[in-house]
Structure 1
Amino acid sequence: MISSTLRSALGQLAGLIFGAITLKILAIMTGPSGVGLFSLFRHLQQSLSLVASLGGQAAIIQGLSSREEEQREVFQRHVCAVFVVLGLLLAIFMLCSASLISEWMFEGGYTSSLRWLTISVLAGSGLFFLRGILNAHLKFNEIALINAISGFGGCF
């Protein structure tokens, strides 16, 4: 248990370090206003990903852990279908209401950026799903790797 916790922590630490590097690069390139705008977009992306995933991965972990092997696969398929449907509904909502959200949050600017944010929201929801599946199957090395790669991906 200590070993798996340490590996998860190292993956999370790597993700945080890459996140700090990302913000430093962004601060150098865009200044304080760019970092502020990035923070608003990131908060919106994380909030909408959480909505699309029905609150994250805890329910997936609990649901898979409490079932027998043959029931796990059925549960996993149903949860995947729910994630796909909710993701599609949220994507449609974001694409259709990007101008309204833009008017509310940014006084009319960044409508097209909000539409592009849909991709990131769907990826975030998928990340919640995959991490929940891996966590339920006790794949802590893979979770640590995903956390590190997620942070590294932000540098680009």
Structure 2
Amino acid sequence: MSETATVAAITKSVHVECEPERAFRVFTTEIGTWWPVETHSLNPGEVREVVWEERAGGEVYELSLAGDRCRWATVLTWEPPTRLVIAWQVNPDRLGTEIEVRFTPEDGGTRVDLEHRGWERIPDPAEMRAGYTTGWDHVLGRFEKRFAQP
């Protein structure tokens, strides 16, 4: 019997100066105000909108300027304002991973903990995992900066 080795999850945390309800809303339905679609999308520089369907079974997808709909993920768990889990699969020809985000009140704001897991599903995940490890730093940095805007 063969056993699949577990590949360590990517974990990241940031602190934002707002209540969990607002942090959850900005992370999800307001994703288009901070996600770096110019570099981190399926149509770089050509994204009109990012849509987050607010329910388990909903989808997260981008709409291009040309009207193309490109799926990023499926919502597995929707528990506003404390937790969400998505099946992340931006490439339909590859197996996907899973992302869990938790929103916890902390020191007058909210700690946002992200766990990107399921790497053992990906054949030879090292390069892809390394890209996401640094990619999440950039993406979550943009999320943090969103709260400094008026």
Provide the TM-score with structure 1 as the length reference.
Answer: 0.31
Larger fraction in helix: 1
Provide the TM-score with structure 2 as the length reference.
Answer: 0.32
**Which structure carries more relative contact order (alpha carbon 8 Å, separation 6+)?**
1
Larger fraction in strand: 2
